[in-house]
Amino acid sequence: MAAGGAHAHWSSRFAFLMASVGFAVGLGNIWRFPYVAGENGGAAFVIVYLACAFFIGVPILMAELMIGRRGQASPPIAMADVATESGKSRQWQWIGGMGLLAAYTIEIVYAVVVGWVLWYLYKAITTGFVGVDAEMAGLEFSAVLSDNWGMLFWTITGLALTGLIIYSGVKDGIERAVSFMMPLMFLLLLGLAAYNYFAGGFAEAVEWLFTPDFSKIGPTTVLAAIGQAFFSIGVAMGGMMTYGSYLPKDIKLTQSVLIIVVADTAVAILAGLVIFPAVFNNGLDPAAGAGLIFQTLPVAFAQMPGGYVFGVLFFIMLSVAGITSMVGLIECVNAWIEERYGILRHKSAVLVVSSIAVFSVLSILSYNVIADYTVAGRNLNDTLDYFSNQILLPVGGLLIAVFAGWVMTRKNSRDEFNALGDRAYSIWYFLIRFVVPPALLVIFVMGVSE
């Protein structure tokens, strides 16, 4: 149990949903999904993605939330307790530990990128990107990557905002923040997409995203869809299991999971209708990947009518997505520190956030000073990204599925899904045992063999 009293709980399903969707919707989800969809057959890819999300993402998300709620603790302790209840070894706690390690590793790199977003929000407010062309945008981003003190300042700013939310507790901090920030993000997305409808480029974006081209659907596309579905929902990172541990018994898991997945997908599609009309209307390259946010869009903001307001609102929206994801990544580690070592939340929050700030210095330096120091051809950031995304997440997800389907007793999992009908429960049980593990094994093998 956490230091200082009973385990915290969400005060409402709305708060839980906002926190979970906020954790699932991150920066990569916003720029990557629309681009991958457009490049892989548009609506055809979206159909494959939805199938993967519901047959792989939903079962494992249900499993994580179930284990968290059953264990009423941080991931390692929850998995140990649930394993003990089922008459199995407490060593399953190490799978929960893998989720925490993945979250911590991701956060070291992610905090720096969120720092860039906050920096660009400041640039949008102070300059509006007036007069910026493609060459200037490229030079400006290069200047950002070479300014270590600037990157450090904005990285620490993002971490401080996140730390303040976690420091304040589950109800007074996380709940209060996401209950304001997530509706704000949805409103901004809808408003910006509506603006694009009148500003131009909307029809081209809709065609890019929704014209089905089934000729592009092959094994590579299916793998891309599985990977996108798995990673974008935010499983195997400890965050969902931790948020599940704050769930009261009277909140129905299945309905909540479906809402999370649908909201996550809706945000990704809406993001496409925000980003790509501006890109197409200004004759820019939609295939710019991560550079789309920091090098391509500023050029669009400089050229489009109302670009100043659009740019500011866009980076506010992106900042919200970044901060709410950081909250989930750090909270799972913080909750474990609290419980494992009996440290008060205030102290553990400062400890965890400060340690990430220290390690983020290495992430910052790997963009310039230590960029040439590589391991197997990868610099520090690429190594951390590979270790977390290609190894920890798929292996952790696979083992969570094995735990839920083969280690937990059927009686205990059925008890957590008591609102499910027998047929629906049987479908979940079949998927978590026989479909999810081989799918994640394929992701892992493909990832490490690239």
206-227 tens-digit pLDDT: 998 888 989 988 888 888 888 8
Predicted confidence band of residue 167 (pLDDT cuts 50, 70, 90): very high
In a domain, 66, yes or no: yes
- Residue 8 within any structural domain of the chain: no
Report yes or no on 321 lying in a domain: yes
The pLDDT value recorded for residue 166 is: 98
Report whether pLDDT(425) > 50.
Answer: yes
* pLDDT computed for residue 360 by the predictor: 98
Q: Is residue 6 part of a domain?
A: no
Residue 227, pLDDT score: 82
Q: Is the pLDDT of residue 4 over 50?
A: no
Q: Which domain holds residue 17?
A: 13-448
Q: What is the 3-state secondary structure (H, E, C) of the chain?
A: CCCCCCCCCCCCHHHHHHHHHHHHCCHHHHHHHHHHHHHCCCHHHHHHHHHHHHHHHHHHHHHHHHHHHHHCCCHHHHHHHHHHHCCCCHHHHHHHHHHHHHHHHHHHHHHHHHHHHHHHHHHHHHCCCCCCCHHHHHHHHHHHHHCHHHHHHHHHHHHHHHHHHHHCCHHHHHHHHHHHHHHHHHHHHHHHHHHHHHHCCHHHHHHHHHCCCHHHCCHHHHHHHHHHHHHHHCCCCCHHHHHHHCCCCCCCHHHHHHHHHHHHHHHHHHHHHHHHHHHHHCCCCCCCCCHHHHHHHHHHHHHCCCHHHHHHHHHHHHHHHHHHHHHHHHHHHHHHHHHHHCCCHHHHHHHHHHHHHHHHHHHHHCCCCCCCCCECCECHHHHHHHHHHHHHHHHHHHHHHHHHHHHCCHHHHHHHCCCCCHHHHHHHHHHHHHHHHHHHHHHHHHHHCC
User: Does residue 191 lie within any of the structural domains?
Assistant: yes
Mean pLDDT computed over 228-238: 90
The arithmetic mean of pLDDT across residues 130-146, rounded, is 95
Give percent of the chain above pLDDT 70: 98
Output the pLDDT for position 287. 75
**Residue range 3-25: average pLDDT?**
87
Query: Residue 41 domain-assigned?
Result: yes
**Across the chain, what does the average pLDDT equal?**
93
* Domain of residue 249, CATH code: 1.20.1740.10
* Domain count along the chain: 1
**1 is a domain residue:** no
List pLDDT tens digits, range 346-383.
999 999 999 999 999 999 999 999 999 998 889 999 99
Within-domain flag for 3: no
